[in-house]
Amino acid sequence: MNLWIDEVQSLFDCCDKEHRTHQLLKGVSTDSRDIKVGQLFIALKGENFDGHNYIDKAIKKGASLILSEKNHLNPKVIKVDDTIKALGLLAKYYRLKFSIPVIALTGSVGKTTTKNMINSVLSTLKNVHTTKGNKNNHIGLPMSLFNLTSEHDVSILEMGMNHLGEIDYLSSIAKPTISILTNIGVSHIGNLGSKENIFIAKKEMLNHLLPKSLLLINGDDEFLMSLQANSPYRVITYGFSSHNTVKASHYKTLEDNKGSQFMIGHELYTLNTLGKHNVYNALPAITLGNEFGLSTKMINQGLKTFSNEKMRMNISKIQGMTIINDAYNANTQSMKAAIDVLDIQKGRKVAILGDMLEMGDFSKDNHFDVGKHVANSLMDVLIGVGNDASFYIDGAKSAKNSNLELYYFEDLSYLEKNINDIIKQGDSILLKGSRGSKMETVIEFINKKE
């Protein structure tokens, strides 16, 4: 990063001009364990920690400047009312130093995968800055911006939220020049109360998008399609439906789970991952590839370098079984998408599903809906694990599929005792649930199978 101490001092109205220090900061840190000489240390308070307890440690390790909510005798310490807001304000100031394209994306499902696919495609021609992993909140996004340098040609920023107002705040910092809305689902519906409110929260991104800027939206999403009418933006819609600007067709899965293919017009595109939901994730990457002047060959080269992050549709062979580890997180949409991927696998199909969390009063209905989807698929076995997973079983029973084997376990410990009596060689097994369900643990149980 290229930020001077006197710029920070001016931003927070600290020190008169005569006593300001013109010294280049060598980065920003919120973790005293990782602080390096010449960095700015911002003391944040969390549920389980308070960075103010480590200010002296940061000074000893060579921090050039510190933002704190508490007074301190050391002149390196600048007192602010709220260090989290100070972090955001500083990131906003730093962002305005760059005139490169800034791509911001949000949505209920597929944000990180979409971001990574865009990165893979644009990196064939550009030096791309992007958020690492899913650091997409009020701390992660500002910290990601501080990694932006003059060498970057474009930035890709992912934005997540749990409540109204959060996307607006992140967008006010990022000032996107291109925005992408992937879909409106039921993630965090327990906090927001309805899909309508989720839509309101997601479209807050547009509060800070200038007129005539490029807006990409999933045209197969009924909520997002409403943004096209009388829009002040240059809207490109994408999806499988015929009305979309960028229309995917002829989807097929390659042999031995080697990937999938689809067409856009007369052009063929290949992904090294499965599922129509991943085509939705790839379409913004392809669209932006075209916008940035990449050929179809270059776009395909970029898509070829994409790899799913850990526990996101990772497929492996264990004990003679095909394991689809999609245990990173879950909501109704992503559950159904993963089940559809399992549906096309060979052998007996076993869905092992943990709880979908943060559903609040909508939990029963959404688990029931997923269970019904399983029963209407080609599944052979459904195993529900967790407090609300019993509603998967109820939903499956409502579909009256007599060929579907149903099992329910209150927690993973009960599943561990019984799983190897249920599964067998040749099975294709899906592991999926919200992060708190830790469904990846099931792989350890399977590895113990004799």
Asked whether residue 33 carries a pLDDT value surpassing 80, the answer given is: yes
Inside any domain, residue 388: yes
How many Å apart are CA 105 and CA 118, to the nearest integer? 11
Give the model's pLDDT for residue 66: 96
How many Å apart are CA 8 and CA 19, to the nearest integer? 13
418 and 437 belong to one structural domain: yes
- For residue 254, give the nearest of 326, 315, 182, 318 by alpha carbon: 315
70 and 104 belong to one structural domain: no
Average pLDDT of the segment spanning 383-389: 97
Tell the residue number behind the tokens 């309508």, with chain if given.
196
User: Hey, what's the torsion of the CAs at 374, 378, 382, 387, to 10 degrees?
Assistant: -10
Give the model's pLDDT for residue 188: 80
The enclosing domain of 177 has a CATH number of 3.40.1190.10
Inside any domain, residue 202: yes
Q: What is the CA radius of gyration of the chain?
A: 24
| 5-29 pLDDT per residue, tens | 999 999 998 877 766 778 999 999 9
Asked whether residue 401 carries a pLDDT value surpassing 90, the answer given is: no
Q: Nearest 5 degrees, angle CA 185-CA 204-CA 7?
A: 130
Question: For residues 379 and 348, is the Cβ–Cβ distance under 8 A?
Answer: no
Give the model's pLDDT for residue 231: 95
29 and 155 belong to one structural domain: no
Among 305, 328, 348, the domain-final residue is 305
271 and 407 belong to one structural domain: no
Among 269, 288, 305, the domain-final residue is 305
Asked whether residue 134 carries a pLDDT value surpassing 90, the answer given is: no
Asked whether residue 133 carries a pLDDT value surpassing 90, the answer given is: no
How many Å apart are CA 378 and CA 399, to the nearest integer? 13
Among 305, 329, 347, the domain-final residue is 305
73 and 199 belong to one structural domain: no
How many Å apart are CA 353 and CA 386, to the nearest integer? 9
Q: Copy the structure tokens of residue 305.
A: 């370098």
61 and 124 belong to one structural domain: no
The enclosing domain of 427 has a CATH number of 3.90.190.20
Helix axes 166-174, 195-202, angle to 10 degrees: 20
Alpha helices in 292-361 (DSSP H): 296-305, 332-343
Give the model's pLDDT for residue 87: 97
How many Å apart are CA 183 and CA 116, to the nearest integer? 17
Average pLDDT of the segment spanning 343-365: 95
324 and 396 belong to one structural domain: yes
Give the model's pLDDT for residue 450: 58
Strands (E), 391-445: 405-409, 428-432
Inside any domain, residue 88: no
Inside any domain, residue 376: yes
Q: Nearest 5 degrees, angle CA 236-CA 241-CA 242?
A: 80
Question: For residues 13 and 80, is the Cβ–Cβ distance under 8 A?
Answer: no
Q: Is 158 helix (H, G, I), strand (E, B) or coil?
A: strand
> Could you give the number of structural domains in the chain?
3
Average pLDDT of the segment spanning 324-335: 94
196 and 295 belong to one structural domain: yes
Tell the residue number behind the tokens 């195993």, with chain if given.
383
237 and 322 belong to one structural domain: no
Domain interval for residue 440? 314-447
Inside any domain, residue 91: no
How many Å apart are CA 284 and CA 248, to the nearest integer? 11
How many Å apart are CA 224 and CA 237, to the nearest integer? 9
71 and 174 belong to one structural domain: no
The enclosing domain of 50 has a CATH number of 3.40.1390.10
Give the model's pLDDT for residue 434: 95
Inside any domain, residue 92: no
Mean pLDDT estimate for the chain: 94
| Whole-structure pTM value | 0.92
Give the model's confidence band at 358: pLDDT under 50 very low, under 70 low, under 90 confident, else very high.
Answer: confident
Give the model's pLDDT for residue 176: 98
Inside any domain, residue 196: yes
Give the model's pLDDT for residue 40: 97
116 and 71 belong to one structural domain: no
Q: Copy the structure tokens of residue 398.
A: 């409502």
425 and 322 belong to one structural domain: yes
Inside any domain, residue 253: yes
